[in-house]
Structure 1
């Protein structure tokens, strides 16, 4: 856009004025794919397509009277900009601390305090383990987590303490219960990553690698499960209920279960990369684990995890298959591996059970849901209501 202006593009300030929102909200819309940010050649700042802004403005004008919608959420927890993910201003690629420390960053903004160990009270943990132990061995890990969270909620008389300190107490219990009720192996001490590994695989799994994976998955803006969690939190549902809402929305092939689909695709691709890709494309379903709705050139989470896995010898067959596929595919949006595929490589490299990626995702995202719960509790309650615009008679 030159000094005379360009009718097809608007500055950030102009977009904010047109939509009657704050400039920060403009970039929240970019993170959610509602607006396309265009670099401004020869000047600072960004430009935005006027037709996209006009569509958003039209939707806001004709949405009827409302108390609030998801478009009104502005979060300080995470930001996606220029194909990079930030947690409270920290590039996620620079966060090498244990996941407990990253949880502290997301929950309180404090990364420097020594991390607390996440442990559940013995009575709650014993009750949850008994309930989960009654399930068949074939029950998926995330289903075990759902049972454990429900039983922990019923066992915790302080679950309705919605003060910040009360939420943090509940959060530590939630994560401990989710991790410590998954498998027969019981470690009563250690970090979350150290206690989680034995439930996923019998192979030695470096806790630092699992910490990095959990960090990459902890939050990703207003994903569908996070939206479900925030709606529950807006009604002042206690954190156990909020996490239950998130777990319910996570249980989909398009979201939390996507790594399982990618894992099974990678099974075929390791044996015949191009044959597996060709068959998927022939069936019209796209390639599992490739492409992303938000990232344009690279998923930074996948980029980092795959880089870490290139030093793991047992990851070589899966990485070779991915390289063969990406070398042959020309469209960047199709050829770029996403975090679900990187999770699938991790699962193959360490001989994890096929649903391990879903469990890692759910535990990591629980941390993000708690952060959004704390943020939503500061907003007016029940602020999300469906529009009640009368429907014209035919």
Structure 2
């Protein structure tokens, strides 16, 4: 948790940096200075280390090592990429806003193609059928009935490694079949959602399934037009978010010439870390959980742990995450769905209570729901079982991981940062010229 002396008021920041309020807002919107909500809910505080880093730059260029270290700590860009740009309105995929693609009904399949190739084809509704390899099916069958909601991320992490076996990984590298391999992997992951559904096993794709439909059918959900649209939109919103830790892991693996499956496995291992992808599980079990009529008793949890545990106030989106807002809007739309497959009265009331609670956190605590609470809310409105939010995030984000792997391959260099070695604790920026490690791989 951030301590009070690690934070600065608006007036202190303006004085230290000698800037105007508009410039401070620009720094925050670009992620150069991270903001935290004040306890009174009406203003923000700012991370002292971010302010001090900018002040150092204004005084003069820091040593190369110090600059490199600061960029690795949620700092400045460290890699060139033409895939995704972070904007105040959410990520922009190759010059197309994710929220516009999702809200406009663009298929996840078209977005995957855009991310991987840079070419937009809005007519891709589904991919050609590919059989899941028989050895992978045998491997998955050993887990029938035995996958808990908290384990779905680990299971999905094993899927790429299973697909890489029997020479399929080396063939992907040698034959340039990354697109076909990615499609097979995404549908295999979608079928694994069946371990959370009523069948408690892998659910194979059938003719006519797109990825959204495959996930809904595997989870045992109703395949109504509204639910298919919402699931597809969620996958589009999840597809990429620039150089997130898991994406960086995928690029590091790609820079060593690892096959596509191994790169995605590396990304999943990073994604399900305690501070990132597992936030959906914590939200399902500790925040947006039964009894829903007691949500107001959990205000203190948001106040104390909202940013660190539950994904509120993403530092890249200090004014609120447009992706989460769209997900919550879609959840509210599902409440109005009628006819076969529509949510029952209990689910409708729980969704209403959840949405009202999240809006209250925004207005009273300046706690803006991030992707994780937005995703859990939408998954619950879709009637998906716990754990499905984690699965949706991994399946959707795999599209971006694949795109970054393909881009990293074209850049043809190894990502190998250097360590700074020091004795007896942290080394200051003045110590970079001593205790350097020898170059190694």
| TM-score tier after normalising by the smaller chain length | 0.7 to 0.9
Q: Specify the alignment match of 2:65 in structure 1.
A: 62
Deviation of residue 295 (structure 1)? 0.8
Q: Does 1:263 align with 2:284?
A: yes
Distance 1:186 1:361 in 2: 20
Question: Which of residues 69, 79, 99 in structure 2 aligns to 1:73?
Answer: 79
Distance 1:116 1:384 in 2: 39
TM-score with structure 2 length normalisation? Answer: 0.71
Distance 2:242 2:420 in 1: 27
Change over 3 Å in CA distance of 1:268–1:290 after alignment to 2: farther
RMSD across aligned C-alpha pairs, in angstroms?
A: 3.5
Distance 2:81 2:183 in 1: 22
Query: CA contact under 8 A between 2:187 and 2:205: conserved in structure 1?
Result: no
Q: Specify the alignment match of 1:321 in structure 2.
A: 354
Q: Does 1:147 align with 2:169?
A: no
Listed as ranges, the gaps of 5+ residues in structure 1 are 1-6, 11-26, 38-47
TM-score with structure 1 length normalisation? Answer: 0.78
Question: Which of residues 353, 376, 381 in structure 1 aligns to 2:385?
Answer: 353
Q: Does 1:309 align with 2:309?
A: no
Deviations 1:67-126 (A, max 9, x none): x9794212221111224321111111221211110001111111226427446743x432
Q: Aligned with 1:291: secondary structure?
A: coil
Q: Specify the alignment match of 1:200 in structure 2.
A: 219
Q: Specify the alignment match of 1:130 in structure 2.
A: 138
Distance 2:244 2:261 in 1: 19
When structure 1 is superposed on structure 2, of 69-78 and 220-229 the one drifting more is 69-78
Deviation of residue 310 (structure 1)? 1.0
Distance 2:247 2:291 in 1: 32
Listed as ranges, the gaps of 5+ residues in structure 2 are 1-16, 21-25, 36-49, 195-200, 336-346, 424-430, 436-441
- The 5 Å alignment of 1:360-375 reads 360-375=392-407
Change over 3 Å in CA distance of 1:111–1:65 after alignment to 2: closer
Distance 1:351 1:65 in 2: 45
- The 5 Å alignment of 1:151-166 reads 151-157=162-168, 159-162=170-173, 165-166=176-177
Q: Specify the alignment match of 2:94 in structure 1.
A: 88
Query: CA contact under 8 A between 1:78 and 1:86: conserved in structure 2?
Result: yes
Distance 2:152 2:64 in 1: 45
Deviation of residue 272 (structure 1)? 1.3
Q: Specify the alignment match of 1:52 in structure 2.
A: 54
When structure 1 is superposed on structure 2, of 340-349 and 108-117 the one drifting more is 108-117
Deviation of residue 384 (structure 1)? 2.2
Instruction: Figure out how many residues of one structure are paired with residues of the other and give that number.
Output: 357
Deviation of residue 276 (structure 1)? 2.2
- The 5 Å alignment of 1:1-394 reads 8=18, 33-34=31-32, 52=54, 54-55=56-57, 61-63=64-66, 71-95=77-101, 96-112=105-121, 114-115=123-124, 117-118=126-127, 121-122=130-131, 124-139=132-147, 140-157=151-168, 159-162=170-173, 165-183=176-194, 184=201, 185-189=203-207, 190-204=209-223, 206-264=227-285, 265-268=287-290, 270-278=292-300, 280=301, 284-286=304-306, 288-313=310-335, 314-324=347-357, 326-327=359-360, 330=363, 333-334=366-367, 336-388=368-420
Deviations 1:261-299 (A, max 9, x none): 222211146221211223x258x4337343222111221
Distance 1:269 1:87 in 2: 38
Change over 3 Å in CA distance of 1:350–1:328 after alignment to 2: closer
Query: CA contact under 8 A between 1:9 and 1:49: conserved in structure 2?
Result: no
Deviations 1:236-255 (A, max 9, x none): 11100100000100112321
Distance 1:207 1:248 in 2: 28
Deviation of residue 332 (structure 1)? 5.9
